[in-house]
Amino acid sequence: MKTTLKILSVLMIAVLALCMAGCGKTDKTDIKQLQQLEGDMLVITGYPQEAMTKEMYDKAVTRWRLTYTGLAYNPNPIEEVGIKVTDEEYRRIYEFCQEAVAKNKFANYSEDVCDGTTYKFVFYDKDGKEHVIYDGYCYDNKELQEIKKLITKYQVE
């Protein structure tokens, strides 16, 4: 009985030590390494779905993008001005994109809406390969709305 108790105690100590050693480690994405890459990471395009002339439609299509360098580009009078996003938001957007592509997360998602704006979310992986995450209405999807808000808040007035 004493031998069993000693063995259990040693095992519990070993498990506790392993758990404590693992607690300090994180699997967070190394964004400094990602920010060395060139090109767009995520592009969100808004397409109006209302009756209008082609000229009006072309002007109404809106495109927001986040580059791997961490700059958000939003429709603005200068178009070439990018604003640096926070590391936390950068990581959140990148991990959202990775998960959405890996799990094909929005493949079966759709909303029954007849007008307004549809949104196309396109992720470009580290190799520049294009992955369409979602294309359609997303008024009721909290996750897609959150990602859209994270990028669109970096707007030059």
Q: What is the pLDDT of residues 68-87, one digit of tens each?
A: 999 999 876 556 778 999 99
Q: What percent of the chain stands above pLDDT 70?
A: 78
The structural domains of the chain, with segments of one domain joined by +, span 31-152
Span of 10-19, 86-95, 107-116 with lowest mean pLDDT: 10-19
Query: Per-residue confidence at 25, pLDDT binned at 50, 70, 90?
Result: very low
Q: Are 106 and 133 in contact (CB under 8 A)?
A: yes
pTM: 0.79
The secondary structure element, H or E, covering residue 147 is helix 142-152
d(CA 61, CA 51): 13
Dist. CA 75–CA 59, nearest whole Å: 11
Q: How far apart are CA 48 and CA 146, in angstroms?
A: 20
Question: In this predicted structure, what is the pLDDT of residue 120?
Answer: 98
